[in-house]
Amino acid sequence: MDQSNGNSISRRGVMGGAAAGLVSATGSATAQTAGSSPSSAVAKDDPTTKYPKPPFRSQSQPWPGLAGQMDPRPDHGETSYKGSGRLQGRKALITGGDSGMGRAAAIAFAREGADVAISYHPDEEPDAREVIDLIKKEGRVAVALPGDIRDEALCNRIVTDAVRQLGGLDILVNNAARQQQRQSLLDITSEDFDATFKTNIYAMFWLTKAALPHLTPGSAIIQTTSEQAYDPSANLVDYAMTKAAMMNFTKSLAKQLGPKGIRVNGVAPGPIWTPLQVSGGATQEKLQQFGGDTPLGRPGQPVELASIYVQLAAADASYATGQVYGAAGGSGQP
């Protein structure tokens, strides 16, 4: 409420307004008792029908895939996420910020008042451009940092550039991931194994190590782990291994950094509709029925996890560290 003219309001005006409000409230209560509902009531969404359900169209893209070419196109909160200033003045670096949960977090962070840098693979430039534009529309600083994070020198440079262009760093989201399904262990080549671990584990280690000197008490580190850390699929052996390692990295580092006032937490998604699935992360058979075996009967959308990333980054979650927050449509763990 605008209090700028508060001194000009008379006591009689206040009392009159209060009386009118009481009458209005009484009338409203009477109306509700009679069976009608107020027009200002907040609508409730049925989570089973809120977003698309399988079957989905068969589709594939070369790795790493683009959200803009998926059918249906994922919802990252482009129009639906509304901020309330919970991260005002904060400075965040998000890997894989072009699509999926990274994009949802980037949009949400900007609408909560944070300046945001996103790193992404150069092949994801079209998606990344959209995110950068959305961040700028919120009046926030937006930094694009393309490159392949399987390189240690690049990871160091990403952090250096983010700190320089943002003017500091106090939120790091390790979200970028590689997922390529293989039906047999015999089908996983050493090159595959190396690429998955370099993207999911080595890069997280390098980026976090480079970021630590810039983080101060009140800072937050968030990893995107997965239900695969707890309930691995038969055809995602190497990917599931990395997500389990990421979960333990989160819990171990939280103990190490807790005395320094730096919190470390994770988010463990279940089946979420992202380019990982259409660029080799799932078989076509599973893709067409993706998320259909969850209690909600559908895959999640990235925007449905955005508020979790915000909560873990926000100061009012100051006692949460070493935790992994799940969102799997009623299945999976934790």
- Domains assigned to the chain: 87-327 (3.40.50.720)
pLDDT at 333: 78
pTM assigned to the model: 0.87
Q: What is the mean pLDDT of residues 119-148?
A: 98
Helix axes 100-111, 125-137, angle to 10 degrees: 10
Where are the extended beta strands (E) located within the chain? 91-95, 115-120, 142-146, 171-174, 220-224, 263-269, 324-327
DSSP secondary structure string for all residues of 38-72: -TTPPPPP-TTTSS--S-------STT--GGG-SS
Q: Pick 42 or 80 by higher pLDDT.
A: 80
278 pLDDT higher than 60 = yes
- Percent of the chain exceeding pLDDT 90 equals 85
pLDDT > 70 in the chain, percent: 87
Per-residue pLDDT reduced to its tens digit, 223-256: 999 999 999 999 999 999 999 999 999 999 999 9
Count Cβ atoms below 10 Å from residue 73 Cβ, excluding itself. 12
Residues designated as active site: 239
Query: Can you read off the two tokens belonging to residue 223?
Result: 């990893």
Q: Is the distance from CB of 112 to CB of 87 less than 8 angstroms?
A: yes
SS3 of 172-209: EEECCCCCCCCCCHHHCCHHHHHHHHHHHHHHHHHHHH
Residues near 55 by Cβ (< 8 Å), separated by ≥ 6? 288, 289, 292
pLDDT at residue 41 in the model: 62
Distance (Å) of CA 5 to CA 2, 10, 15, 205: 8, 11, 17, 54
What is the torsional sign of CA 228, 124, 219, 85?
Answer: negative
Under 8 Å between Cβ of 103 and 127: yes
Q: To which residue do tokens 């799932």 refer?
A: 282
- Residue 311 near residue 317, CB atoms below 8 Å: yes
Q: What pLDDT is recorded for position 140?
A: 98
pLDDT digits (tens, 9 = 90+) for 25-54: 434 443 343 444 444 566 689 999 999 999
Cβ contacts of 269 within 8 Å, gap of 6 or more: 101, 224, 226, 227, 300, 305, 326, 327, 328
d(CA 99, CA 289): 21
Query: Is residue 152 a contact partner of residue 158, using CB atoms and an 8 Å limit?
Result: no
Half-sphere exposure (CA, 13 Å, Cβ side) for 143?
A: 23
Other C-beta atoms lying within 10 Å of the C-beta of residue 22? 10
